[in-house]
Amino acid sequence: MIKVSVKWQKELLKDVEIDTSQPPYVFKCQLFDLTGVPPERQKIMVKGGLLKDDADWSTLGVKEGQKLMMMGTADEIMKAPEKGPVFVEDLPEEEQVVAVGHSAGLFNLGNTCYMNSTVQCLHSVPELKSALITYSHSGRSNDVDQSSHMLTIATRDLFNELDKSVKPVAPMQFWMVLRKKYPQFGQLHNGVFMQQDAEECWTQILYTLSQSLKLPGSSEDLDTVKALFGIELVSRVHCQESGEESSETESVYSLKCHISHEVNHLHEGLKHGLKSELEKASPSLGRSAMYLKESRINGLPRYLTVQFVRFFWKRESNQKAKILRVEDYFGWYTLRISVQAMFDFPTHSDSRLCKTKVDYPLELDIYDLCSDDLRKELEAPRQTLRDEEGKKLGLNASKDSAGSKDNDVKMSDAEGSSSGSGEPSLATSQEAGPSDCKTHMTGIYDLVAVLTHKGRSADSGHYVAWVKQESGKWIEYDDDNPITQREEDITKLSGGGDWHMAYICMYKARVVPI
């Protein structure tokens, strides 16, 4: 063991020990600790030239106290970060929402899961939130009653609170205003607020917002809610007995998936839902007769809502029917209801739940449910997207008809809306963004929210919302407890057991640029 001094730049390192029993590389490692110059960059002058990593010390003639010269640049010294680590819980609440990747849950105020799940699904619609932001306290139209105005304000404020909070939110103000507007949601049983039907809550909230969020100077057909959720239907009404036939148009906010033992998939149920029988007076027969009503979609919404008709009445209860299907001893049949029946609620003893498993897709194509005129308008946008998809796959542009369901393609998110004019509608974007790009509908929709029910009746059990975030991940909103879920588990909520089963599905349209 000998000691030497090493001159490096302006520094002189004294009494550096050399273990001559070890190769020079060990000595270079010592110098690295002292100077920060990596061994591969060190150039040390010794007898005969530069010191090599595997040289033999005995042949180099290094003596005690000898001064060696080293050249080389040191690695940059690591600097301490200007800011220390910041934990999510230390961020401002608005930034915590961004970091977490989803909005807050909602406290259950006592059998209010039906309301919480409805709010979480509707809150996922950015265009609806944008419309609510522009709605002011003083902006109430003379056509909007005070209770509707207050419910719209409460909805806006609750959506805003959910966006800014990571901690669960108590929707007390919203619930109070909802009960004031629709007293049925304030029903008590033994002094406790009763569970209610989430579909009824969904319908009433959208109806209120449709009245409040009409564009200034616009007709009813151009209100914001109808632009987002309105589905234009054209129907053929035919009496086989008299041969009478007529057509009619109407606007609805959801499609019904009618469930029977023969229906195993959403698409089949939708086809059943577009056909119905009704009894009305026949001018030619001079009496009531049965008519067959067959409907087709003639205008597409940005957000397509589908209700699974799972709840029905006991025939022997002899009460007004809220649900569209009942069961008797001879099988399944459809029952048309009056508008007044929408406001009736079943008792715990009278309602039943159909647990039939009905599969639904992540991607829904409703092209074959559209009218002939609308199909013609859909063909060009669908073909354009198939060609673009083919180019991505290195294939030649397809010459097949756009009506083929075997050529489904990936398309951008919808920003369009139905024209609401009764004419076949390919929606164009009203919120096209900086590029001001307008878009056409394609008839293809992506699943973005599912409202499920677990239990034996609409006015009991438990409701949960499953919502797709902008990042693509799914969040299960079980009241105040948001839980991340896998996309492949979402389609398992199709019924057939005691697990959560889909009651309402919301799909977002795919569009193509004009």
Tens of pLDDT, residue by residue over 58-73, are 888 888 989 989 988 8
Catalytic residue among 239, 265, 437, 462: 462
Domain assignment present for 51 = yes
pLDDT value at residue 141: 65
Cβ–Cβ < 8 Å for 94, 160: no
Q: Over 90: is that where the pLDDT of 183 sits?
A: yes
Domain assignment present for 36 = yes
Q: Over 50: is that where the pLDDT of 174 sits?
A: yes
**What are the tens digits of pLDDT across the range 375-402?**
999 999 898 878 877 787 876 554 444 4
Domain assignment present for 241 = no
Mean pLDDT (the chain) is 80
Please say if 462 is a catalytic residue. Answer: yes
Does the model's pTM come out above 0.85?
A: no
pLDDT value at residue 406: 44
Domain assignment present for 491 = no
Domain assignment present for 50 = yes
Q: Which residue has better confidence, 136 or 248?
A: 248
Catalytic residue among 113, 257, 354, 505: 113
Domain assignment present for 344 = no
Show the domain range for 21: 2-71
d(CA 456, CA 445): 30
DSSP states of 156-183: HHHHHHHHH-SS-B--HHHHHHHHHH-G
* Torsion of the alpha carbons at 79, 83, 85 and 89, rounded to the nearest 10: 180
- Band of pLDDT at residue 121, cut at 50, 70 and 90: very high
Cβ–Cβ < 8 Å for 30, 70: no
Domain assignment present for 373 = no
**Domain count across the chain:** 1
Q: Return the CATH number at 9.
A: 3.10.20.90
- Band of pLDDT at residue 327, cut at 50, 70 and 90: very low
Please say if 113 is a catalytic residue. Answer: yes
